[in-house]
């Protein structure tokens, strides 16, 4: 367990195992415990770095904007603190968006890429989900001034929740064309019942040169939790091939 300071935030991470670094990035509103079924399996062969995203888990919010550029920069800060030049990066949901952003903006930090349940922009989410989430986000804008007066102790929590919703309502902004610059081995993985439409997941895979696409049967968006043995085996097999051992 460790912490690193950056731009007013205190980022929490946990490291397990030895070997090449494998970074795990969880989804919106979660923390590094999302990967409880992955860390033991991956740590047998890799130095696993599980990170609490800024404003999640034990990591604080810090200053400045909360967007995927900032979250990708945070990964670099954590890698620097651990003396890691580059790592295999596995991101789930919003963590997948961070992983894609990192691979586009800082390609030298990424050895290989596993993208699970990501979306390139808000339109990659189902319209029903977008409408519901946007309405809650808009209502939050009306409630926030009142909460600061009527419930000042609750106001920071409400502000944080609305800001996390904003990551889905307003972000990300990754173009399919930009993915063509990703030159590392890439696995795009999603559950067959993922809330992200299959055509959008296929667009991500088709836009990254040489990317592999795997659809996990009988699983939804959190396929790593729902089918951990299959998910773990698939990721480890991919990493073997990425390292030329397969």
3-17 pLDDT, tens digit per residue, is 999 988 999 999 999
Name the residue with higher pLDDT: 170 or 53.
Answer: 53
- Going by pLDDT thresholds of 50, 70 and 90, the confidence category of residue 126 is confident
Please state, rounded to an integer, the average pLDDT across all residues of the chain.
91
Q: Is the pLDDT of residue 151 over 90?
A: no
Answer yes or no: are the C-beta atoms of 59 and 10 closer than 8 Å: yes
Q: Is 87 helix (H, G, I), strand (E, B) or coil?
A: strand
Q: Is 8 left (phi over 0), alpha (psi -120 to 50) or beta?
A: left
Mean pLDDT value across residues 207-218: 98
This prediction has a pTM of 0.92
Q: Is the pLDDT of residue 154 over 50?
A: no
Yes or no: is domain 2-121+173-242 CATH 3.40.50.1820? yes
pLDDT in tens, 63-87: 888 999 999 999 999 999 999 999 9
Least confident of 20-24, 150-154, 192-196: 150-154
pLDDT at residue 76, as a whole number: 98
**For residues 140-179, b (16+ Cβ closer than 10 Å) or e, as one string?**
beebeeebeeeeeeebeebeeebbbbbbbbebbebeeebb
pLDDT at residue 166, as a whole number: 84
Percentage above 70 pLDDT, the chain: 89
Q: Is the pLDDT of residue 137 over 70?
A: no
Alpha-carbon gap, residue 64 to 45, rounded angstroms: 37
Domain ranges of the chain: 2-121+173-242, 123-170
Least confident of 136-145, 166-175, 179-188, 204-213: 136-145
Q: Is the pLDDT of residue 90 over 80?
A: yes
Taking the CB of residue 193, how many other CB atoms lie within 10 A of it? Answer: 15
**Is the torsion defined by CA of 77, 81, 85, 86 positive or negative?**
negative
């Amino acid at each position: 367990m460790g912490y690193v300071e950056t731009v007013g935030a205190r980022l929490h991470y946990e490291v397990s195992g030895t070997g090449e670094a494998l970074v795990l990035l969880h989804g919106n509103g979660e923390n590094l415990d999302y990967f409880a079924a992955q860390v033991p399996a991956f740590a047998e062969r890799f130095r696993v770095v599980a990170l609490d995203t800024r404003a999640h888990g034990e990591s604080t919010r810090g200053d400045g904007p909360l967007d995927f550029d900032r979250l990708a920069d945070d990964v670099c800060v954590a890698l620097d603190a651990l003396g890691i030049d580059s790592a295999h990066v596995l991101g789930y949901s919003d963590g997948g968006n961070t992983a894609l952003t990192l691979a586009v903006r800082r390609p030298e930090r990424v050895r290989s890429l596993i993208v699970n349940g990501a979306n390139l922009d808000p339109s990659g989410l189902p319209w029903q989900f977008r409408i519901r989430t946007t309405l809650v986000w808009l209502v939050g804008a009306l409630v926030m001034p009142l909460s600061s007066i009527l419930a000042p102790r609750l106001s920071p929590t409400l502000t944080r929740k609305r800001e996390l919703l904003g990551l889905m309502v307003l972000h990300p902004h990754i173009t399919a064309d930009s993915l063509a610059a990703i030159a590392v081995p890439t696995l795009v993985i999603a559950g067959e019942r993922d809330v992200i439409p299959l055509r959008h997941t296929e667009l991500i895979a088709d836009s990254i040169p040489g990317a592999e696409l795997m659809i996990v049967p009988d699983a939804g968006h959190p396929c790593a939790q729902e089918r951990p043995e299959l998910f773990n085996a698939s990721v480890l097999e991919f990493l073997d091939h990425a390292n030329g051992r397969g």
